[in-house]
Amino acid sequence: MDRVAEAAAIARDQVANTIRLLDEGNTVPFIARYRKEVTGELDEVQIRRIEELVCYHRGLEQRKSDVLRLIEEQGKLTEEIRTRILGASRLTEVEDLYRPFRQRRKTRAGMAREKGLEPLATYLLSFPRAGSPESEAASYLSEAVPTVAEALQGARDIVAETVADDPDVRGWVRDHARRYGLLVTRARDPEVDSVYRMYYDYREPLRTVVPHRVLAVNRGEHEEFLRVSVEVEQDAVLSYLQRWFGREGSVTSDLVREAVVDAYRRLVAPAVERDVRHELTERAGAQAVDVFSRNLRSLLLQPPVRQMVVLGVDPAYRTGCKWAVVDDTGKLQEVGVVYPTPPQNHTREAESVFKRLVDEYRVQVIAVGNGTASRETEQFVADFIGVHGGGRLSYTIVSEAGASVYSASALAAQEFPDLDVSLRSAVSIARRLQDPLAELVKIEPRAIGVGQYQHDVPPKRLEESLTAVVESTVNYVGVDLNTASAPLLGYVAGVNETLAKNIVRYREKTGRFRNRQQLSEVSRLGPKTFEQCVGFMRITGGENPLDATPIHPESYALADRLLGLIGSGFSDVGQPALRAKLARLSIQAVAAELGAGVPTLRDIVESLARPGRDPRDELPLPLFRTNVLNIQDLEPGMELRGTVRNVVDFGAFVDIGVKQDGLVHISELADGYVRHPLDVLSVGDVVSVRVLSADAKRGRIALSMRGLPPQLTV
């Protein structure tokens, strides 16, 4: 408990209460929203951090128990070892302490022990002042050990393993490597060009290597372009080991010194290199997951473009641009294919089709996917709008990441059984503009590519983190119980895939939900699940106005008493007069009068004032365009508006309406110091940028935000 509180930098009683709630089976969104008095208003990030630390420390305690049992079974458990294991705060410490007792494959030292040479090794470490090691070794000769040299070598092997297995040695060398080691990369073949050329002869202190560089060199090594190693100045390490294990003036000093050098070079150094690189990769992976997660949340929270008829276009070259028209409710109207891009270049035919669609369905915006052939398609769309738009039509670029995954999924087949797989993606692109969250939850989170090196981190870890992000976002926004799809319902707190399908089946069988209590009639949805999920499910136009708010049914009585206190009723919910009354309240005083918690009452007041609030509606809409630029049009000093498409450790990529996204390096994000790009930008932000340079040959655009107005943050 204390270690979790210290690591999370949260008060012990808050940690204890949160752990109790988690152990009782409560979900993180439920705890964060509806148990604020118990946790001291911890947010989801803090609660998930506690959950993660508790899981780690419980695993650590279990490993300690297992190690103690295994050592005790060997009859080698001493009080000192027990104390050190129980006092270990990290898993590596436990494993270092267990290492000498671990059952292992045959080693040189193990074979020497089998030959009876351990007493000779003990003799070497006794550092006698007189006598001869050779004479001592002669007494150990046998058929298995025919020479004195082999006897002494076997004894040195045992000494080397003893040194290497010492937990203090490994801990010191590992820490020394962290502080003074270098990450060194070299080309396997300098003549072969690759994207890793900057790492063909590269070295950097381990303590300064940034996460994205670690993952880059790991990938270069995996693809066999690079050789990667950790270099440590060995003289300092050997000097330490000699002071620890050596002793001058003995007839065995030189032999022990040789064994210590062998221990470091053959056993300790390779193991420490693996450990340190694993640590670097773990930290880099955690950073990559964090960046991906934060970008994903921003993408999911993109504001919906409501009440617009959308023509979605999935660009391609040879196979043509698939298109789909959806009405202002997202219902599919028509699909097809046009070929305005190379090699066909049938622009006139495509223009004729688009004109018919715009006129027939009153299309208001065209959503163009950002994949292959996107810019050629964008140019065609911009030219079309210039001729036929009439000032009423615009277009925007929509991320199509994961659209192909959705198109081939069982869910897409269920939604559009009569559509070809290739046409379903255009429907998804159109709907993503209308309601990004509702559409993107249909896709595996890791297929939505907004991050860096996400394919280089453990899939399970990435999936767990991204699933938590989607769950958090869905519950933050809330879902309409009468319109939400099964995939969307499946992310509501406490609801799994089976329950989500049961809710949809109940809705199809009995009609619209009229009140939240009907949820308890859904098959396999028990009291605990009802408690966890009901507050995040909304019913518009139902029997009880509170069902359209985030207020939990357990607080309906409190809301009723509050309304009675100010002379209002349920029929006033959301009305200007009620908002005015609520604005004049002293939350502290009313909470004391009603015997309620301040955080809960504050949330109730906010919900009564704005019952249908969607937090996404307060964010800026996507950037709509009517024309397109070429990279040749760009000149240094030009100021443009653009949309942030991706944020990574070293900067942000911004779509300014050119074929290539421009890079705003971290040093150009603001006038002051920026610790990380995500501190000032999010995916979907609409920003002002200045062109620094445009390299048409290499397709690279450098942008700056220094000295420009702040972004419109999502």
Q: How far apart are CA 666 and CA 650, in angstroms?
A: 5
Q: How far apart are CA 327 and CA 434, in angstroms?
A: 10
Q: What is the mean pLDDT of residues 169-191?
A: 96
Q: What is the mean pLDDT of residues 410-415?
A: 90
Q: What is the mean pLDDT of residues 357-371?
A: 94
321-326 sheet: strands from edge to edge: 332-338, 321-326, 310-314, 365-369, 394-398
Q: What is the pLDDT of residue 626?
A: 73
Position 712 pLDDT exceeds 60: no
**pLDDT tier for residue 710 given thresholds of 50, 70 and 90:** low
The ranges of the chain annotated as CATH 1.10.10.650 are 2-101
% of the chain at pLDDT higher than 90: 77
Q: What is the mean pLDDT of residues 343-364?
A: 96
Q: What is the mean pLDDT of residues 306-330?
A: 94
| Half-sphere exposure in the Cβ direction for 506 (13 Å, CA) | 20
Position 442 pLDDT exceeds 60: yes
Q: What is the pLDDT of residue 452?
A: 66
Tokens 């070892």 belong to residue? 81
Position 709 pLDDT exceeds 80: no
As a whole number, the mean pLDDT across the chain is: 92
Q: What is the mean pLDDT of residues 204-228?
A: 95
**pLDDT tier for residue 454 given thresholds of 50, 70 and 90:** low
Q: How far apart are CA 622 and CA 394, in angstroms?
A: 11
Domain 476-617 of CATH type 1.10.150.310: yes
In CATH terms, the fold of domain 2-101 is: Arc Repressor Mutant, subunit A (1.10.10)
Position 714 pLDDT exceeds 60: no
Long-range contacts, stretch 3-7, CB < 8 angstroms, 24+ apart: 3/53, 3/57, 3/89, 4/50, 4/53, 4/54, 4/57, 7/53
Position 628 pLDDT exceeds 70: no
**What is 108-288's CATH number?**
1.10.3500.10
Spatial CB neighbours of 619, under 8 Å, sequence gap ≥ 6: 301, 302, 303, 684, 713, 714
Which range scores top for mean pLDDT: 48-57, 406-415, 643-652? 48-57
Residue 568 zone, left/alpha/beta (φ > 0; ψ -120 to 50; rest) = beta
Q: What is the mean pLDDT of residues 521-540?
A: 96
Supply the pTM of this predicted model.
Answer: 0.84
Query: CA angle 547-553-559, nearest 5°?
Result: 85
Q: What is the pLDDT of residue 697?
A: 83
Position 316 pLDDT exceeds 80: yes
Q: What is the pLDDT of residue 711?
A: 55
Q: What is the mean pLDDT of residues 13-24?
A: 96
Q: How far apart are CA 568 and CA 557, in angstroms?
A: 14
Condensed to tens digits (0 to 9), the pLDDT of residues 475-496 reads: 999 999 999 999 999 999 999 9
The ranges of the chain annotated as CATH 2.40.50.140 are 631-704
Q: How far apart are CA 11 and CA 230, in angstroms?
A: 39
What one-character-per-residue DSSP string does 512-564 give?
S--SGGGGGGSTT--HHHHHHHGGGEE-TT-SSGGGGSS--GGGHHHHHHHHH
Q: How far apart are CA 18 and CA 344, in angstroms?
A: 62
% of the chain at pLDDT higher than 70: 98
Looking at per-residue pLDDT, the higher value among 141 and 613 belongs to: 141
Structure tokens at 673: 């110091």
Q: How far apart are CA 88 and CA 32, in angstroms?
A: 32
Q: How far apart are CA 536 and CA 547, in angstroms?
A: 10
Strands 639-648 and 686-695: antiparallel
Q: Considering the domain 631-704, what is its CATH architecture?
A: Beta Barrel (2.40)
The ranges of the chain annotated as CATH 1.10.150.310 are 476-617
Which residue, among 138, 68, 150, has the nearest Cα to 108 in the 3D structure?
150
Spatial CB neighbours of 375, under 8 Å, sequence gap ≥ 6: 628, 658, 659
Tell me which of 185-199, 321-335, 512-526, 564-578 is least confident: 564-578
Which residue, among 294, 331, 336, has the nearest Cα to 310 in the 3D structure?
331
Structure tokens at 523: 């098959």
The CATH class that applies to domain 311-434 reads alpha beta
Q: What is the pLDDT of residue 132?
A: 94
The ranges of the chain annotated as CATH 3.30.420.140 are 311-434
